[in-house]
């Protein structure tokens, strides 16, 4: 019985992070400056707190300075915009992220409008998103998770040009930019979402499947073309008493079935997640380089 190659996102991300750490050291030696990342965290969501802690720890390990602004669940858009404005002005800050999702009462659109384009290392500002979408234009930053997916494909030797790719999900932070990036790499892209009829008919034609639905076991073995490459962006917490915090993360793909059909697959955890953080560090370093070059 054949099984898929497992794409080891954790070790690829470690390689990238250590290369970034080297560049940060050299920047410090040459010009006496280090990259800086500012993180805005609103509210008490456990998942967001974990993501933010992982991001600031990764900064520390790479020699990137990180600063945090924590705001309460019931804060106003103005308070977030004030924090943003002061980071916008701070010359030691080269990247700013607002951890998503925000509490219901806050309008993401208003907040991302205030974020400096040049410091938008998540690539969520509408002008960066627009430039990513338009041919002949370049955004200053590519959203971290989709960029990590493409990086995994490239570093695993998967050709994208001319292939049929399917993206499951159309969120602003993953599905939409992933579909745009795959097109930039000359794939033929289909997008499948909650209202798609018979999604499996479409996924069965795909050479590359990027899934970001947040629905455990959505993608069954029989949804896949034999030899497909599967990038699983899903991270759904499921109860798991054998785990440290009583839960573990589950991807969108029925892994046990998929490994019998696919040529290569990313595990959850240890696939895309670590790459998101590596790409955030990479975007922050790029921003600092742009500032001083």
Binding part of the chain for ligand GUN, among 22-30, 92-100, 162-170, 247-255 by CB under 6 A, reads 92-100
Give whichever of 97 and 160 is closer to ligand GUN, judged by the CB atom: 97
Measured distance CA(190)–CA(164) in Å, rounded:
8
Q: Is 100 in the site for ligand GUN (CB under 6 A)?
A: yes
Q: Is 282 in the site for ligand GUN (CB under 6 A)?
A: no
Binding part of the chain for ligand GUN, among 22-30, 97-105, 153-161, 214-222 by CB under 6 A, reads 97-105
Quick one: which of 56, 66, 99, 139 contacts ligand GUN (CB under 6 A)?
Answer: 99
With CA atoms as reference, report the closest residue to 182 among 194, 166, 200, 170. 166
Measured distance CA(84)–CA(97) in Å, rounded:
9
Please state the closest distance from residue 164 (CB atom) to ligand GUN, in A: 26
With CA atoms as reference, report the closest residue to 6 among 217, 272, 225, 200. 272
Q: Which of 55, 65, 119, 250 is catalytic?
A: 55
Q: Is 55 a catalytic residue?
A: yes
Give whichever of 99 and 179 is closer to ligand GUN, judged by the CB atom: 99
Quick one: which of 66, 145, 203, 211 contacts ligand GUN (CB under 6 A)?
Answer: 145
Q: Find the length of the chain.
A: 293
Give 101's DSSP letter: P
Measured distance CA(168)–CA(176) in Å, rounded:
10
Q: Is 98 in the site for ligand GUN (CB under 6 A)?
A: yes
Binding part of the chain for ligand GUN, among 86-94, 98-106, 219-227, 250-258 by CB under 6 A, reads 98-106
Q: Which of 99, 147, 250, 286 is catalytic?
A: 99
Binding part of the chain for ligand GUN, among 93-101, 157-165, 202-210, 238-246 by CB under 6 A, reads 93-101
Q: Assess contact for 127 and 118: CB atoms under 8 A.
A: no
Q: Is 10 a catalytic residue?
A: no
Please state the closest distance from residue 220 (CB atom) to ligand GUN, in A: 25
Measured distance CA(149)–CA(7) in Å, rounded:
11
Unique residue bearing structure tokens 């029989």? 222
Number of residues that bind ligand GUN (CB under 6 A): 9
Measured distance CA(250)–CA(258) in Å, rounded:
14
Measured distance CA(189)–CA(186) in Å, rounded:
9
Q: Which of 65, 120, 122, 147 is catalytic?
A: 122
Measured distance CA(100)–CA(94) in Å, rounded:
19
Give whichever of 38 and 224 is closer to ligand GUN, judged by the CB atom: 38
> Is residue 232 within a helix (H) or strand (E), and if so which, with residue range?
strand 229-232
Q: Which residues form the catalytic set? A: 55, 99, 122
What residues line the site for ligand GUN (CB under 6 A)?
A: 97-100, 122, 144-145, 173, 276
């Amino acid at each position: 019985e054949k099984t898929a190659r497992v794409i080891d996102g954790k070790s690829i991300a470690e390689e990238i992070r250590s290369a970034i750490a080297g560049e940060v050291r050299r920047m410090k030696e040459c010009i006496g400056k280090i990259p800086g990342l500012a993180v805005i965290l609103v509210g008490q969501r456990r998942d967001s707190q974990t993501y933010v802690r992982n991001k600031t720890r990764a900064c520390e390990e790479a020699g990137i300075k990180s600063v945090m602004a924590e705001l309460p669940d019931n804060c106003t858009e103005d308070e977030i915009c004030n924090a943003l404005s002061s980071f916008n002005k701070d010359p030691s800050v080269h990247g700013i992220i607002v951890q998503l999702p925000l509490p219901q009462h806050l309008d993401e659109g208003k907040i991302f409008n205030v974020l400096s384009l040049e410091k938008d290392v998540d690539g969520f500002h509408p002008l960066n998103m627009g430039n990513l979408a338009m041919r002949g234009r370049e955004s200053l930053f590519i959203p971290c998770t989709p960029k990590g997916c493409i990086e995994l494909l490239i570093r695993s030797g998967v050709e994208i040009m001319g292939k049929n790719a399917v993206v499951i999900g159309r969120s602003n932070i993953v599905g939409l930019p992933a579909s745009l990036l795959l097109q930039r790499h000359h794939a033929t892209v289909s997008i499948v979402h909650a209202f798609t009829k018979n999604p499996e008919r479409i996924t069965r034609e795909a050479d590359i499947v990027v899934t970001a639905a947040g629905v455990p076991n959505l993608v069954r073995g029989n949804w896949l073309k034999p030899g497909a490459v599967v990038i699983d962006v899903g991270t759904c917490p499921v109860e798991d008493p054998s785990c440290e915090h009583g839960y573990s993360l589950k991807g969108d793909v029925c892994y046990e079935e998929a490994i019998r059909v696919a040529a290569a697959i990313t595990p959850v955890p240890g696939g895309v997640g670590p790459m998101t953080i590596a790409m955030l560090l990479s975007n922050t370093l790029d921003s600092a380089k742009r500032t001083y070059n």
